[in-house]
Homo-oligomer: A and B are copies of this chain.
Amino acid sequence: MTSRILLLFVILLGGCTAESDDPLPSWNEGTSRTAILDFVTRVTDPASADFVPAEERVAVFDNDGTLWTEQPAYFQVLFVIDKVKEMAPAHPEWRVKQPFKGILEDDLKAAFAEGVPAILAAALATHAGNTPEEFRQDVAAWLAEARHPRFDRPFTELVYQPMLELLDFLRAEGFATYIVSGGGIEFMRVWAEDVYGIPPEQVIGTSLATRFEMRDGVPTIVRLPEIGFVDDKEGKPVAINHHIGRRPILAFGNSDGDQQMLQWTAAGDGPRFMGLVHHTDAEREYAYDRTSHIGHLDAALDEAVEKGWSVVDMKRDWKVVFPPATQ
C-alpha cells in the first residue's frame, strides 16, 4: 500500500467515524442544534456544575406537530373519520345526524361546523364501548392500510427524522423520554414503541374514563363514552406530575397547547431546555403558526422569543424532515 493510498484510507475511515459519531446528523449547524448539544453535555458531564443524575433526566415531548405531522388534520381525527365510515352500516341513525352525516357525505365542513363538541361526539362513538386491547387492534388495522392524503405514505412514516435522532440521543445519554400529548393515550401506545422507541408506560395523553367489570365472567377493562382527562394546556403539567412525579428538565412542543408544560419545566431549579418546533416549511411539510387552528402557535412563540427558549426552524434547521420511505 502506498502512503497516498494509506492516507486516503485514513481520511475515509476518519470521515466515517466522524459521521457515525454525530448524534444529530439530520440537524443543520445552527443555534438549535448547538443549544441541544450544549445542554446535554452540561447535564451529563459529572464534572459540570449543571450535572443532573440520570434518574432526574426526564424529557417530555408533545406528539402532534412535534414528533409527527398534524396537517391537514390530527391523524387521530382522520382515524375517527375512517372509523365512522366503517361502522356506519350498523348505525343507520348516523345518516341524518351530525357530525356523522357530514362525515359519511364527505362534507367535513358540515360535520365539524360545531367544532370541538362535534369532533368529540365522533371520537366517543368510535373509541368507546370496547376494551383497550380491542381498540388497539382497531388502530393497528387502520395504520396498516391508511395513507396520508398529500404524502401518500403511512402515517407512522410521517415522523420527524431529526426528532427521532434527538429521542435516540437523549436515551443514549441516560434520559427517559416521554410523550405528553393531547392525543389519545391508547391511540399512541399502539405504535409509539415501534416508531419512537417510547414504551406504553412512557406515553401520557388524553384518555377516556374506563371501568373494571366482569364480562361473561372475564375481568375486563371497558372504555366508556366519556372523557377521563384532557392532556392539553394546563393539563400537561398536571399529567406529568401525576404520571412521572418528577419535573422534566427538557420539554419540546410546537403549539400554545404546550406552553404550560414548557413554563412548568422552565420553572424548575437547575439547567433546563425548552424547545418549540416551528413549522416553516410549506414545501417539505407545512408552514403555519399564529393563524392556524391546528397547532396554533402564538403566545408560546412570543414567550419562547422573550425567554430565549429554542425555536427550531424546520426549514432552516432540518436537513430532512421525514425518514426515507419504506413502503
Contacts and interface: CB of A to CB of B under 8 A. Distances in A.
B212 A245 contact: no
A237 B199 CA distance: 19
A241 B222 CA distance: 11
Contact of A267 (B55, B211, B219): B219
Contacts of A212: 234-238, 260, 264
A210 B267 contact: no
Contact of A245 (B201, B220, B245): B201
Interface in A174-215: 176, 185-186, 189, 199-201, 203, 207, 210-213
A129 interface: no
A242 B199 CA distance: 13
Nearest to A193: B55
Given A211-B238, A212-B264, A218-B267, A246 B132 contact: no
A243 to B, nearest CB: 6
Interface string A281-320: 0000000000000000000000000000000000000000
Given A238-B212, A260-B219, A200 B246 contact: yes
A244 interface: yes
* Tally of this chain's copies: 2
Interface residues of A, number: 36
Contacts of A241: 132, 210, 221
Interface string A241-263: 11111100000000000001001
Contacts of A199: 55
A228 B221 CA distance: 19
B201 A243 contact: yes
Interface string A23-43: 000000000000000000000
Residue in A210, A234, A242, A260 whose Cβ sees the most chain B Cβ within 10 Å: A242
B185 A219 contact: no
A221 B237 CA distance: 8
A244 B200 contact: yes
B237 A219 contact: yes
B185 A211 contact: no
B185 A242 contact: yes
19 contacts: A55-B199, A201-B243, A201-B245, A201-B246, A207-B242, A210-B241, A211-B234, A212-B234, A212-B235, A212-B237, A212-B238, A212-B260, A219-B237, A219-B263, A219-B266, A221-B237, A221-B238, A221-B241, A243-B243
Interface of A: 55, 132, 176, 185-186, 189, 199-201, 203, 207, 210-213, 218-221, 228, 234-238, 241-246, 260, 263-264, 266-267
Given A201-B245, A219-B237, 18 more contacts: A185-B242, A185-B245, A200-B244, A201-B201, A201-B243, A210-B238, A210-B242, A211-B234, A212-B234, A212-B236, A212-B237, A212-B238, A212-B260, A213-B234, A219-B267, A220-B267, A228-B242, A243-B243
